[in-house]
Structure formats: C-alpha cells, structure tokens
Amino acid sequence: MSYTDDNGPMMTVDGKPLKRSLAIALRRQKIRALLLISPLLIFVLITFLFPIASMLFRSVENDIVSEILPKTVVALSDWDAQSGELPGEIVYSAFAGDIQRAAKAKDHTRVGLRLNYEKSGMASLFKKTARKAKKWDLEADTPFKNKLIETHKGWADIAVWQTLKTHSSRYTSGYFLNSIDMRKTVSGPEFQPEDRQILVTLFKRTLIISLVITISCILLGYPVAWLLANLPMRQANLLMILVLLPFWTSLLVRTSAWKVMLQQQGVINDLLVALGMIEETGRLALINNQLGTVIAMTHILLPFMILPMYSVMQSIPPTYLRAAKSLGATNWTAFWRVYFPQSVPGIGAGSILVFILSIGYYITPEIVGGNKGVFISNRIAYHIFQSMNWGLAAALGTILLVAVLTLYWAYDKIVGIDNVKLGG
C-alpha cells in the first residue's frame, strides 16, 4: 500500500516516510515486549539485584565508629598513632562525652562489637566503661584521662586507641583484608595472628572439596546418563524417575537421611559389621568430616550433572558409533574417539552447574560436615547470623562471587562457552 515518489523517500499511505513509520511500529513492539516482561524485571531488580548491591556495599561501608563517637574521631585525627604515646586529655575528654551519650542512647554495644571484630576484648571494654560513664559529670569529673584509665585499664593500652583510630574512617578496606586473613593496622596491612587465620584455609577447602564433588558426580553420572540415553524408552523413563526422585524430596530430608546412613551406629556401619568386613570397635567415621560432606553433596547434586549430560547424549546419532565400528574400530576406540568427544559439552555444562552450586552450599556441610567439612559459606552464615559482622560476610560474599565469575570466564577461554549445551 505504498507508492514511490521519484524524488523523495518511500512513503506510506498516510504520507509519512516508510522508514519512520517502520521505526515507530518497531518501537511500539519493543515497548510492548518490555511491558510484558516488566513484572519479572521489576521483581528481579527489587528482590535480587538491589539487595545484592546493598549487601556488597556493606563490605566497604564503615560508619559506625564515626557516627557514634564523632568528637573522638575528630580529636584522634591530631594524634600520631605511631608515636608510642597515649593520646592527650583532649581525646580522652572527647571520648568521655561521646561514650556517655552513646550509653544513654544504648548505642555503645554497636561500636564495641564493631571494634571487637578487629581486637578481641573491645566489646567488654565498651560495655564496662559505658555502664560507669552514665553517671559522669562532664564538667566536674575532669581530667578524664585518669578517670577512664581508673575505670578500665584498657584505656591505658595504646593498641586500643590505635584500633579506634584505624577503624574510624567512613569507608574501609579492612573487611577485605580480614577476609584474606590480614588486618588493617596503623602501619599498614599485616597478617592476622596465627590463631585468627582461618578464612584462606576455608576458601581453599571449599574449592578443593567442590572439585572432588564435581569429579565424583562426573564419574557416577556419566554411565547413568549413557544408560538413560540408550535404553529403550520404557526402561529409560523408569530410570529417569529414579534420577528425578531426589529432586522431589526436601533437601533437609535427604541430608538427614545421610546422617542416619553414615553415622557410626548407622545403617552402613551396621551392615559392614554384620558382614564381618570391619570390627565392632573399628567402625568407620563417615560423617562429621570431609568425607560426609563429599558423599552427601555428591548425592544431592548428581541430578544437575546427569540431566545436561543426558540431553546432550540423546542428540548424538547412534549411526556415528555404528559407522566407526563398521570401519574397524574396537568398542573402546569407537567410544573414546567418536562418542566421548561429542558428549563433552554435556560434561562441561554439568560441571559448571555442580561446581558453582557446591561452592555456595551451606546447609548440607553444616549438618554432615562436622568441623573439618564446612565451607566458606558456613562462615558467611556465622557472620550474618551470630557475630553480626555483616561487613566481613559481605566481603567474603563478594570474593566468592568474583571467584565464580572468574572461573566462568576461564572456562569460556579454555573450553568455550559455545561448547556448553543444556540440551539438543
């Protein structure tokens, strides 16, 4: 329904240039599509991206000290922390005013708790001091240097003031340093004392155990996926139900079931003793250690490995194998040279899924991992729910997120993300 004017652009019937008219129509379509997905988009934005961003922001945010002890922070800025001398009366009297106000507002525990993450003993120091500070007369009770040291000898410890000064800035790299077992001090970053170095070990352990779980999933899952893809429909469906069954059972139920199976008086140990394979006194420790975590998590994550493998294997035409054999290949050669390379994308997809899921796993290691089988995520949970050190939890979470993205990037470089297939 358009006509061409020899001298001008192509026009539509209503006299508008066709190009513009088309653009308008396309834009309308786009807006409509966007409107259609907007509920999901807004939902993801509000419930996923925004909370994650605000949580990540906490890993550098550090306003508790400067908010609750404003005058002290200002007064401390003139004090040379490395001078080896205690700060002057001006700092002590500023602090006395701050702590009295904080005690009345019942805010003093927050700052004590914050500083206790850096130096053990700060929480009780603030609590004890604040209790007495409520009764001080700021005019008459000077000098506060003596008064404070009398109240608690902690105030005569230079390290206390150094900690206060170091952690009074509004933004801090302290949490990130903490998450790699270092700490911020007046003379720059330092390693934590040995009895506080645990997080790097936990990161390493998380990566190694996750790798072991991924490999066990591949070894256990590959034959099952192959069977699924090659059995007649009827049997394959039955097998498929067996694979999917764990998906339909609650995670907690499955994990608790492993507890019953693996404990020392549990089903497996009882069976082995009954069969005479182990002594009554030599029952195996299968739970509350790393082995327990590996066993239970391999079971729980196995479907995530089998399903992508299965869908890839299903798309490999059986004729290829037959062709290889008719050309004289042995069973092994036909499998290794023809079938296996074609199933690699399935292994890749499954491995990424299992590995990424497992480095963030929390509840299963918590229940069956005991002391040595817990992950970095359990430590994050501890800092969120118990120690209230959200800054450190956020820093650990950020590192975990970056680690996952890096691994994904490395995988893309080495294997190529095009080689990952979830199906067909």
* Binding status of residue 135 toward other proteins by CB under 8 A: no
CB 309 within 8 A of CB 347: yes
CB 79 within 8 A of CB 97: no
* Closer residue to other proteins (CB): 313 or 392: 392
* Binding status of residue 174 toward other proteins by CB under 8 A: no
Applying CB under 8 A, among 64, 76, 94, 123 the residue interacting with other proteins is: 123
Applying CB under 8 A, among 93, 116, 206, 210 the residue interacting with other proteins is: 116
Looking at residues 192 to 211 of the shown chain, list those that interact with other proteins (rule: CB under 8 A).
195-196, 198, 201-202
Looking at residues 234 to 293 of the shown chain, list those that interact with other proteins (rule: CB under 8 A).
263-265, 288
DSSP run (H or E) holding 188 = strand 188-191
Looking at residues 386 to 415 of the shown chain, list those that interact with other proteins (rule: CB under 8 A).
386-388, 390
How many residues bind other proteins (CB under 8 A)? The answer is: 36
H helical segments located in 247-389: 251-262, 267-274, 290-314, 318-326, 331-333, 340-359, 363-368, 376-385
CB 422 within 8 A of CB 413: no
Window contacting other proteins (CB under 8 A); options: 29-37, 127-135, 215-223, 352-360: 127-135
* Closer residue to other proteins (CB): 384 or 407: 384
> In the complex, what is the shortest distance from the CB of residue 348 to other proteins, in angstroms, rounded to a whole number?
34
Backbone phi, psi, residue 189, to 5°: -65, 145
Cα(157)–Cα(276) distance, rounded to whole angstroms? Answer: 64
Applying CB under 8 A, among 12, 21, 66, 109 the residue interacting with other proteins is: 109
Map residue 189 onto helix, strand or coil: strand
Applying CB under 8 A, among 382, 408, 415, 419 the residue interacting with other proteins is: 382
Cα(423)–Cα(177) distance, rounded to whole angstroms? Answer: 42
Applying CB under 8 A, among 234, 385, 413, 414 the residue interacting with other proteins is: 385
Window contacting other proteins (CB under 8 A); options: 6-14, 293-301, 354-362, 378-386: 378-386
Applying CB under 8 A, among 71, 101, 127, 421 the residue interacting with other proteins is: 127
From the list 97, 103, 88, the residue with the least C-alpha distance to 70 is 97
Other beta carbons within 10 Å of 253: 9
- Cα distances from 387 to residues 50, 116, 123, 348, 391, in angstroms, run 24, 10, 12, 38, 11
Q: Catalog residues that contact other proteins under the rule CB under 8 A.
A: 105-106, 109-110, 112-113, 116-117, 120-124, 127-128, 131, 195-196, 198, 201-202, 263-265, 288, 370-371, 374, 379, 382, 384-388, 390
